[in-house]
């Protein structure tokens, strides 16, 4: 269309410019009506910025204020969550039986104090025959690692005790070595080795010499032994009270040899010549004497 009109306009302009303008004016209006005009896209509404609040008109009612927590009544308080029924795990055969509590879990819930004890070389090596005991606690008396001794193994033999003794490890080792010396003397002097040792008091919580007041005895710490005699392999019995005198007798010489040998191994040795409380036994202990615990008592 535009090409045809342009050709006509060129021909008219060649004849008369005025006639061309009169002819083209209505044609231009017709072309403008026929050809659609481009439309511009409408702009999308811009969102209101968060910081800007929408303006309320005078006709809109004002918003009500939000109630404070104190203004809430009992009816507006938060309702408790709805309780859900416990799931039913019962099968067609019946309800499941409750499992028994684990014994290990129960033991963990009960705190217990750990017991610290020392192993005894004399017991481990077989020098003494016996067993470890639980710690002894008896008022001011006690021993952390006591032993119950039934016999000693010395000079290639086992020498029994007339009754088991409760003693400390150090005391048990010194006692076994002492019995070995007495056994060698009896074998040489009396031509009969020791068969057993007659024992008296071992652990016993009391004061020295059984007094009502004063220092605790070493018996209260499993650190002392009382020996009342010996039995030889040929059946002879040697008793401290009965055979201490005469000193020149065979039995008397054995008892004095035992007393003297004990003074080289124990810090306290008391016999019939010490006092009346020891007329029937030899008291042996490893108590501390003096500021450096090096003093010895041998009576």
Total residue count of the chain as it appears in this document: 299
Task: Measure the CA angle with vertex 217, ends 211 and 222; round to 5°.
Answer: 145
What confidence score (pLDDT) does residue 73 get? 47
CA distance 165 to 163: 6
What confidence score (pLDDT) does residue 116 get? 81
Q: Which of 108, 89, 159 is nearest to 129 (CA)?
A: 159
pLDDT digits (tens, 9 = 90+) for 71-84: 444 444 445 555 55
What confidence score (pLDDT) does residue 153 get? 97
What confidence score (pLDDT) does residue 220 get? 95
What confidence score (pLDDT) does residue 161 get? 98
- What separation, in Å, do the N-terminal and C-terminal C-alpha atoms of the chain show? 153
What confidence score (pLDDT) does residue 115 get? 74
What confidence score (pLDDT) does residue 214 get? 72
pLDDT digits (tens, 9 = 90+) for 88-120: 544 444 444 555 556 555 555 655 667 788 899
**Domain assignments of the chain as residue spans, ordered by start:** 121-298
**Residues of the chain where predicted confidence (pLDDT) is lower than 50:** 51-52, 71-78, 89-96
What confidence score (pLDDT) does residue 207 get? 87
What confidence score (pLDDT) does residue 224 get? 97
CA of 237: how far to CAs of 185, 186, 240, 243, 282, in Å? 15, 12, 10, 10, 16
Q: How many CB atoms lie within 10 A of CB 281?
A: 22
What confidence score (pLDDT) does residue 30 get? 60
What confidence score (pLDDT) does residue 33 get? 61
């Amino acid at each position: 269309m535009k090409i045809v009109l342009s050709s006509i306009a060129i021909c008219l302009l060649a004849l008369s410019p005025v006639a061309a303008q009169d002819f083209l004016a209505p044609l231009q209006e017709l072309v403008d009506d026929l050809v659609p005009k481009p439309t511009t896209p409408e702009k999308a509404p811009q969102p209101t910025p968060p910081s800007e609040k929408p303006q309320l008109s005078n006709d809109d009612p004002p918003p009500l204020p939000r109630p404070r927590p104190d203004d809430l009544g009992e009816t507006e308080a938060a309702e408790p969550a709805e309780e859900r029924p416990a799931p039913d795990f019962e099968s067609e055969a019946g309800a499941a039986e409750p499992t028994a509590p684990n014994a290990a879990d129960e033991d963990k819930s009960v705190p217990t104090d750990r017991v610290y004890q020392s192993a005894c070389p004399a017991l481990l090596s077989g020098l003494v025959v016996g067993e470890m005991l639980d710690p002894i606690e008896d008022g001011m008396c006690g021993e952390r690692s006591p032993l119950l001794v039934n016999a000693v193994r010395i000079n290639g033999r086992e020498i029994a005790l007339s009754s088991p003794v409760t003693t400390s490890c150090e005391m048990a080792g010194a006692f076994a070595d002492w019995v070995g010396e007495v056994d060698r003397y009896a074998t040489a002097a009396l031509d009969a080795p020791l068969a057993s040792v007659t024992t008296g008091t071992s652990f016993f919580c009391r004061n020295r010499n059984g007094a009502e007041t004063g220092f605790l005895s070493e018996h209260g710490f499993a650190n002392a032994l009382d020996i009342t005699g010996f039995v030889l392999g040929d059946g002879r019995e040697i008793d401290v009270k009965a055979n201490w005198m005469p000193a020149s007798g065979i039995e008397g010489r054995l008892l004095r040899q035992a007393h003297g040998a004990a003074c080289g191994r124990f810090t306290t040795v008391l016999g019939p010549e010490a006092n009346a409380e020891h007329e029937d036994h030899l008291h042996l202990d490893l108590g501390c004497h003096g500021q450096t615990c090096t003093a010895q008592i041998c009576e």
